[in-house]
A and B are shown apart, each in its own frame.
Chain A
Amino acid sequence: MGELIKGLLLIAIGLAILAITVLLGAVYGAGISLYNYAFALKNNIKPEENVKITKGLEPAKKNYFFEKGFQDLINVINNNWEKNIDSSKDCFSKAKKNNDNPIEPIMWWMAGISVVVYGTIFFIIISLFHFLVLGGFLLLLYLSFSIVWFIERAYLFFHRFFAACPYCHTKTTLPEYLCDNCGAIHKKLVPNEYGIFYHTCECGHRLPSTFFLNRGRLQARCSNCHQFLLREHIESKRLFIPILGGPSAGKTTFMFSAIRNLIDHKAKDLGFETEFIDKIAESKYNKIVNDLMSGHLPLKTVDNIPKAFNLALKKNNATKWLLYIYDPAGEAYSNADNLSSHYYSEYMSGMIFVIDPFTFRGVRQEYKNQLKINKKGIGPSSLSADDALTRTILAMEESFGLKKTGKIQKPLAVVITKVDALELEDTIGNKAIDGSVKDKSFAKHKLIKKQLLEWGEAALLHQLESRFSNFRFFSSSALGRIPDGSKKDLKGYDVLEPILWIASTVSDEEFRYE
Chain B
Amino acid sequence: MDNLLTNSTVDALQLYYTSCENGVEGSSGFQVQAISDGIEFTEREELKKLGAYEPPRDLPSAPSKEDIARLFPVAFRNVKLHSGKWAMTRSEYTGLDFSGMRYGNFFTHGLLLDSMGHDIWPVDIYGWEGWCNSYVEGQHALSRISIIPDKERYSLQELERFLNKNKDRILLIQMMIVAIFLGKETSRKLVIKEDEIDNGLLWIACIQKSFPAHMQDSLSCSSYQFHPGTCLDVNVIYGENDFRLDETEKEYQFYVVDLVDNQHSKIDGNDNYYAITISKMLYQNPEKLNAFHLFSSFFTYSEIGEHLSSMLKVFQFIEGEINVFEKDSDFNRILKFISEYTKKEKIDYILTSLAPAVNKMIACGNYENTEQFIYFYMDFFNATGDKAYKGIVLEQLFGLFNAVYFEKKYSENNFLVIEEKVRSNLRQYDQDFSNFFLLTENIERFKNEISTLNGEETFIVLARIFKAMRLFEPDTPLSESDNAIELILLSVQAQKEMLYKFPWKVIDLFDSHEEKVNIVYTIFQEMKEITENKEITSFDLALAVQSLADYMQTLFSVETNRYYDFINTLCGYEICWDLVYEEWKSRILRHHKKLYLFTEYQINVLDSNSDYREKYQTLMKEEYWKSLSDIEKNDQAVSWITMDEIKYMSEDSFFNELFYRANQKIKFERDGRESLELVKKMQECNIQNILFEPNKLVLFDALFGEENIINNSEISKALKNIDENDYRVFIGLYLPNAMENMGKYESHGDIIKALFLPRYKKYFIEAYCSMFEQNGVKELSQTESIAWRFWVSITTRDENYKIYKYIHKEIFECLGTRFSILPDKQYKSIKDAEGLSRSQKIKLNDILEIASSKKKSLFNSISKSLKKFPFFGKTTKGKR
A binds B: yes
Given known A279-B244, A296-B61, contact A331–B99 (CB-CB < 8 A): no
CB–CB A297/B227 < 8 A: no
Interface string of A488-501 (1 = CB under 8 A from B): 00000000000000
Assembled-state Cα–Cα distance A154/B54 (Å)? 42
Is A303 on the interface with B (CB-CB < 8 A)? Answer: yes
Q: Which of A284, A302, A329, A379 is the most central at the interface, judged by chain B CB atoms within 10 Å of its CB? A: A302
Chain A residues in the interface with B (C-beta under 8 A): 167-168, 178, 183, 219, 221, 225-228, 246-248, 278-280, 283-284, 287, 290-291, 294, 296-303, 307, 329-331, 334-335, 376-377, 379, 382-383, 483, 485
CB–CB A376/B101 < 8 A: yes
Contact of B28 among A279, A280, A377, A382 (CB under 8 A): A382
CB distance from A168 to the nearest CB of B (A): 7
Nearest opposing residue in chain A for B249, CB measure? A228
A168 contact set on B, CB distance < 8 A: 229
Assembled-state Cα–Cα distance A183/B247 (Å)? 12
B187 contact set on A, CB distance < 8 A: 226
Contact of B252 among A183, A283, A335 (CB under 8 A): A183
B736 contact set on A, CB distance < 8 A: none
CB–CB A330/B229 < 8 A: no
Is B97 on the interface with A (CB-CB < 8 A)? Answer: yes
CB–CB A334/B102 < 8 A: no
Contact of B99 among A280, A296, A298, A376 (CB under 8 A): A376
Task: Return the 5 tightest CB-CB contacts between A and B, nearest first.
Answer: A299-B104, A247-B29, A300-B104, A382-B28, A382-B27
CB distance from A344 to the nearest CB of B (A): 15
Dominant secondary structure of chain B at its interface with chain A: loop
CB–CB B57/A283 < 8 A: yes
A294 contact set on B, CB distance < 8 A: 61
Interface string of B219-231 (1 = CB under 8 A from A): 0000000011100
B248 contact set on A, CB distance < 8 A: 219, 228
A298 contact set on B, CB distance < 8 A: 104
Contact of B27 among A167, A301, A307, A331 (CB under 8 A): A331
**B window 234-257: CB within 8 A of A:** 240, 242, 244, 248-249, 251-253
Is B69 on the interface with A (CB-CB < 8 A)? Answer: no
Contact of B54 among A290, A302, A331 (CB under 8 A): A302
Count of chain B residues near A, Cβ 8 A:
37
CB distance from A228 to the nearest CB of B (A): 6
Q: Which of A168, A297, A298, A307 is the most central at the interface, judged by chain B CB atoms within 10 Å of its CB? A: A297
CB–CB A307/B242 < 8 A: yes
CB–CB B52/A227 < 8 A: no
Instruction: Supply 6 A–B pairs (Cβ within 8 Å), ascending by A.
Output: A225-B229, A227-B229, A283-B240, A299-B104, A300-B103, A331-B30
CB distance from A278 to the nearest CB of B (A): 7
CB–CB B104/A219 < 8 A: no
Nearest opposing residue in chain B for A226, CB measure? B187
Nearest opposing residue in chain B for A247, CB measure? B29
Contact of B102 among A280, A284, A297, A383 (CB under 8 A): A297
B30 contact set on A, CB distance < 8 A: 247, 300, 302, 329, 331
CB–CB B240/A167 < 8 A: no
**B window 97-129: CB within 8 A of A:** 97, 99-106
CB–CB A297/B103 < 8 A: yes
Assembled-state Cα–Cα distance A78/B30 (Å)? 71
Is B644 on the interface with A (CB-CB < 8 A)? Answer: no
CB–CB A382/B102 < 8 A: no
B272 contact set on A, CB distance < 8 A: none
B101 contact set on A, CB distance < 8 A: 297, 376-377, 379, 483, 485
Q: A228-B248, A297-B102 are in contact. List 5 more A-B contacts (CB 8 A).
A: A283-B57, A284-B57, A334-B25, A377-B101, A383-B27
CB distance from A390 to the nearest CB of B (A): 14
CB distance from A55 to the nearest CB of B (A): 11
Is B26 on the interface with A (CB-CB < 8 A)? Answer: yes
A301 contact set on B, CB distance < 8 A: 104
Contact of A329 among B26, B29, B102, B240 (CB under 8 A): B29
CB–CB A379/B102 < 8 A: yes
Assembled-state Cα–Cα distance A193/B229 (Å)? 33
CB distance from A197 to the nearest CB of B (A): 24
Nearest opposing residue in chain B for A487, CB measure? B62
Given known A178-B252, A219-B248, A297-B103, contact A303–B227 (CB-CB < 8 A): yes
CB distance from B189 to the nearest CB of A (A): 10
CB–CB B27/A334 < 8 A: yes
Is B483 on the interface with A (CB-CB < 8 A)? Answer: no
Assembled-state Cα–Cα distance A247/B99 (Å)? 12
B61 contact set on A, CB distance < 8 A: 287, 290-291, 294, 296, 299
Nearest opposing residue in chain A for B246, CB measure? A279
B252 contact set on A, CB distance < 8 A: 178, 183, 219, 228
A225 contact set on B, CB distance < 8 A: 229
CB distance from B475 to the nearest CB of A (A): 65
A330 contact set on B, CB distance < 8 A: 29
A248 contact set on B, CB distance < 8 A: 28-29, 99, 102
Assembled-state Cα–Cα distance A278/B105 (Å)? 26
Q: Which of A226, A246, A299 is the most central at the interface, judged by chain B CB atoms within 10 Å of its CB? A: A299
Is B19 on the interface with A (CB-CB < 8 A)? Answer: yes
A485 contact set on B, CB distance < 8 A: 101
A183 contact set on B, CB distance < 8 A: 251-252
Assembled-state Cα–Cα distance A297/B19 (Å)? 15
Assembled-state Cα–Cα distance A247/B187 (Å)? 35
Assembled-state Cα–Cα distance A303/B52 (Å)? 7
CB–CB B99/A382 < 8 A: no
